[in-house]
């Protein structure tokens, strides 16, 4: 007989979390504390942690997960750039050569506050935990998090960058694991506190410029069902095969709590064209679903592969939903100016060489300028999925995605578009429910139909009988138009445009209620903080976690960014509202500008915020 483990709500959160709690404390409060110190109480610090404590740097692509044994305990993460200026040049000047790594943000009070740290194994980590990180890369990103039902938390990542400084992009994927130092029967407030180590689950081929085998777009889940699969950990990602042109979804599992992993298995099988966005869902009977997107021109499909044997094998993938996908696009119009070479302030895989007239996914200044004159971050359809592991009676998978709303297509009158240059429209967040036993899918349902505003980057959580969804929403954008990117007016001036909204369903998605604005402050996502202060980057996802009625969402936020003037721009070009505070000197002999020498002063202060959801 299978034993079903119900959610173990040891105690309700102490109080409702204060709205808009900051997860990344780089430059406020206690700064960053070593994971070793958090687990042992023994003081430890290093150059990276010291820099993170004062940096006022960038964080994006948040993840957050609530402990199913104790909702007071939440673990968050992000692409954390706090340490990039940890190693100054011999001259004492700032240089962005430090690590971009996974944050580890811990709350033990239901999300009212977080202590900020980093996952061990970053450059300069000399703590006793460093030797447990069996990784070979300098940088890490795309964080994903999952708890099992025994006090263990798992944090997955893709990783790139050669610690030796060569152009190689290793393209590995790995998983870090934590447990309760007092064992499964210990105080649940210590769940996920002790770092046990990091293991690589698949290696890239170490080729420069992404030309080899490169792994990206991670997803993770752990089995909490009490079935024969209980405690298994599942991890999926996209494998790009460089010159071979193959893009496929791969999967591994661990049956010993992340200590070892199976050989990578291709689960997209014959569906290789433009496969992206994997997600892993476990239904209440322990069956595993890997969902992923497949783009064919303007048509987007959400596919799924099913495993009925604890992730050992998968059936051939099937299509669940077909709809009109989108991707923000423009035509490149690179502008040469007297400036220094690009600063190494971004993951190398975010930087793209652009030729005049080529398609561009994001736009800003100089080499990142586009013909429309707009400034915008990259955005595109991003399906996400989950299942309720504490519902043993239904093998249902819940899917959300953002798509173009029917009847909203417009001509943009510029080179900008979301289907192709010149084709615009309004985007909304949709929900569909898959019955894995029959393959039946409910008709797509628009969760919150609004006449104004784009909706993008949704996420969904389901454990404990209630569905929770969060998304970015530009309904409060004073410049909103379906023909323009969020936050841009007709002249290309940018303004605060995005809020985080949430909704819940108590009947498994048939109806959605409590549509609520989570973020207390509308934020400007178009600040040029990347690629040497030339282009915005918001990351590719938001996150929500839940257990029953308790839910917590996390997002990237720019409320702390300090605006400024870019001295490299002519005064006539410097009134778009996208420039941030920076300090540069001009070398008349070489005709070049130096790099930003005041990165601590707030120009790149991008943070992760969160709030309890309805």
SS3 512: coil
Q: What is residue 411's three-state secondary structure?
A: strand
Asked if residue 389 lies in contact with residue 283, where contact means CB atoms within 8 angstroms, the answer is yes
Q: Is 40 helix (H, G, I), strand (E, B) or coil?
A: helix
Q: Supply 187's token pair.
A: 């105080």
- One DSSP character per residue, 161-177 reads --TT--SEE--EEEEEE
Q: Across residues 293-312, what is the average pLDDT? A: 93
Calculate the CA 44 to chain-centre distance. 29
Tokens of 329: 């696009």
Nearest to 107 by CA among 222, 193, 196, 198: 193
Per-residue confidence (pLDDT) for residue 298, from 0 to 100: 80
Which class for 21: exposed (0-12), middle (13-18), buried (19 or more C-beta within 10 A)?
Answer: buried
H-type alpha helices, 508-569: none
pLDDT classification of 54: cutoffs 50, 70, 90: very high
Contacts of 507 (CB under 8 A, 6+ apart): none
Q: What's the CA gap between 52 and 24, in Å, rounded?
A: 9
SS (H, E, C) 254-280: ECCCCCCCCCCEECCCCCCCCEEEEEE
pTM for the predicted model, two decimal places: 0.95
Distance CA 98, CA 150 (A): 35
Q: Give residue-wise pLDDT tens across range 108-139.
A: 999 999 999 999 999 999 999 999 999 988 89
The model's pLDDT over 510-519, given as tens digits with 9 standing for 90+, comes to 999 999 999 9
Between 105-119, 179-193, 203-217, 302-316, the lowest mean confidence (pLDDT) is in: 203-217
On whether the CB atoms of residues 335 and 367 are closer than 8 A, the answer is yes
The lowest-confidence range among 187-201, 500-514, 573-587 is: 573-587
- Beta-strand ranges (E) seen in 378-476 are 384-386, 396-404, 410-411, 423-424, 427-435, 445-446, 455-461, 467-473
Percent of the chain topping pLDDT 70: 91
Q: Which residue has the higher pLDDT, 264 or 210?
A: 264
Is-contact 428 515, C-beta < 8 A? no
Q: How many whole angstroms separate alpha carbon 431 and alpha carbon 529?
A: 33
SS (H, E, C) 92-148: CCCCCCCCCEEEEEEECCCCCCCEEEECCCCCCCCCCCHHHEECCCCEEEEEEEEEC
In order of 306, 330, 483, 524, the CA distances from 418 in angstroms are 32, 9, 9, 20
Q: CA 613 to CA 554: how far, in whole Å?
A: 10
Query: According to the model, what pLDDT value does residue 208 have?
Result: 59
pLDDT score for 340: 63
Report the distance separating Cα 175 and Cα 532, nearest Å. Answer: 30
Return the minimum-mean-pLDDT range out of 84-88, 310-314, 445-449, 502-506: 84-88
Q: Which domains, from first to last, does the chain contain?
A: 21-613 (2.120.10.10)
Report d(CA 219, CA 65) in Å as an integer: 13
pLDDT, the chain, mean: 91
Q: Is the pLDDT of residue 90 over 70?
A: yes
| Nearest alpha-carbon partner for 168 in 120, 114, 205, 140 | 205
| Contact call for residues 487 and 477 (beta carbons, < 8 A) | yes
The answer on pLDDT for 370 being more than 50 is: yes
Is pLDDT above 70 for 339?
A: no
> What confidence tier does 353 reach under pLDDT thresholds 50, 70, 90?
low
Name the helix (H) or strand (E) containing 592.
Answer: strand 592-593
Q: What is the DSSP letter of 315?
A: P
Token readout for 585 is: 């000197």
Do the Cβ atoms of 169 and 207 come closer than 8 Å? yes
Give the Cα separation of 46 and 44 in Å (integer). Answer: 7
Q: What pLDDT, on the 0 to 100 scale, is given for residue 573?
A: 59
Query: Listing from the earlier edge strand, what are the strands of the sheet with 172-179?
Result: 133-134, 194-202, 172-179, 153-160, 139-147
User: In a 10 Å sphere around its CB, with 0-12 CB exposed, 13-18 middle and 19+ buried, how is residue 19 labelled?
Assistant: middle
Which tokens belong to 517?
Answer: 């604005």
- Judged against a pLDDT cut of 60, whether residue 408 lies above it is answered with yes
Whether the pLDDT of residue 11 is over 50: the answer is no
Instruction: Find out whether 152 and 179 touch, Cβ atoms under 8 Å.
Output: yes
C-alpha distances in Å from residue 560, one per residue of 278, 544, 603, 609: 32, 22, 9, 11
Least confident interval from 16-25, 332-341, 342-351, 388-397? 342-351
Angle at 101 between CA 99 and CA 103, to 5 degrees: 135
Mean pLDDT, residues 32-45: 97
Express each pLDDT in 465-508 by its tens digit: 999 999 999 999 999 999 999 999 999 999 999 999 999 999 99
Q: Count how many Cα atoms sit within 13 Å of the Cα of residue 406 in the half-sphere of its side chain.
A: 5
pLDDT value at residue 4: 33
Nearest to 158 by CA among 209, 219, 84, 117: 219
């Amino acid at each position: 007989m299978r034993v079903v483990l119900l959610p173990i709500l040891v105690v309700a959160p102490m109080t409702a979390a204060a709205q808009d709690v900051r997860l990344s404390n780089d430059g406020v409060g206690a700064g960053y504390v070593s994971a070793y110190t958090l687990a042992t109480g023994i003081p430890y610090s290093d150059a990276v942690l010291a820099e993170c404590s004062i940096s006022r740097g960038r964080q994006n692509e948040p993840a957050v997960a609530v402990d199913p044994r104790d909702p007071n305990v939440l673990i968050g993460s992000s692409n954390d750039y706090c340490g990039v200026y940890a190693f100054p040049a011999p001259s004492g000047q700032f240089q962005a050569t430090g690590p971009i790594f996974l944050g580890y943000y811990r709350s033990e009070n239901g999300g009212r506050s977080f202590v900020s740290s980093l996952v061990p194994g970053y450059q300069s980590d000399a703590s006793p935990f460093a030797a447990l990180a069996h990784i070979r890369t300098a940088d890490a990103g795309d964080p994903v998090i999952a708890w099992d039902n025994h006090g263990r938390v798992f944090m997955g990542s893709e990783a790139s960058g050669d610690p030796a400084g060569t152009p190689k992009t290793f393209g590995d994927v790995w998983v870090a694991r934590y447990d309760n130092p007092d064992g499964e029967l210990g105080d649940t407030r210590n769940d996920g506190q002790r770092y046990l180590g990091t293991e690589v689950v698949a290696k890239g081929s170490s080729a420069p410029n992404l030309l080899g085998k490169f792994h990206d777009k991670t997803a993770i889940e752990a089995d909490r069902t009490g079935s024969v699969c209980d405690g298994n950990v599942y991890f999926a990602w996209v494998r790009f095969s460089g010159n071979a042109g193959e893009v496929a979804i791969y999967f591994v599992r661990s049956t010993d709590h992340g200590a070892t992993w199976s050989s990578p298995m291709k689960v997209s099988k014959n569906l290789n064209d433009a496969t992206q966005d994997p997600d892993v869902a476990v239904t209440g009977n322990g069956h595993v679903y890997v969902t992923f997107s497949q783009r064919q021109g303007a048509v987007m499909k959400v596919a799924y592969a099913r495993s009925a044997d604890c992730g050992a094998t998968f059936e051939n993938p099937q299509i669940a939903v077909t709809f009109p996908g989108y991707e923000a696009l423009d035509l490149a119009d690179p502008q040469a100016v007297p400036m220094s070479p690009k600063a190494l302030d971004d993951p190398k895989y975010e930087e793209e060489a652009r030729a005049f007239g080529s398609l561009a996914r994001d736009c800003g200044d100089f080499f990142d300028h586009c013909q429309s004159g707009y400034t915008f971050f990259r955005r595109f359809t991003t399906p996400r999925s989950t299942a309720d592991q504490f519902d043993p009676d239904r093998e249902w998978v819940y899917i959300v995605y953002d798509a173009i709303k029917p009847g909203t297509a417009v001509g943009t009158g510029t080179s900008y578009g979301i289907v192709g240059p010149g084709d615009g429209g309004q985007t909304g967040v949709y929900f569909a429910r898959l019955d894995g036993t029959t393959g039946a899918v409910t008709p797509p349902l628009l969760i919150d139909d609004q006449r104004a505003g784009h909706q993008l980057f949704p996420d969904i959580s389901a454990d404990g009988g209630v569905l929770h969804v969060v998304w970015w929403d530009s309904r409060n954008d004073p410049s909103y138009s379906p023909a323009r990117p969020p936050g841009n007016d007709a002249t290309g001036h940018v303004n605060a445009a995005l809020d985080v909204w949430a909704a819940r369903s108590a009947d498994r998605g048939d109806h959605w209620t409590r549509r609520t604005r989570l973020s207390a402050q509308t934020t400007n996502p178009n600040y040029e903080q990347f690629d040497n202060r030339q282009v915005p980057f918001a990351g590719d996802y938001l996150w929500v976690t839940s257990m029953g009625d308790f839910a917590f969402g996390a997002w990237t936020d720019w409320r702390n960014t300090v605006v400024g003037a870019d001295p490299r721009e002519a005064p006539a070009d410097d009134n778009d509202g996208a420039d941030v505070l920076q300090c540069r000197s001009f070398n008349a002999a070489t005709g070049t500008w130096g790099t930003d020498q005041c990165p601590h002063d707030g120009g790149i202060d991008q943070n992760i915020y969160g709030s309890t959801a309805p």
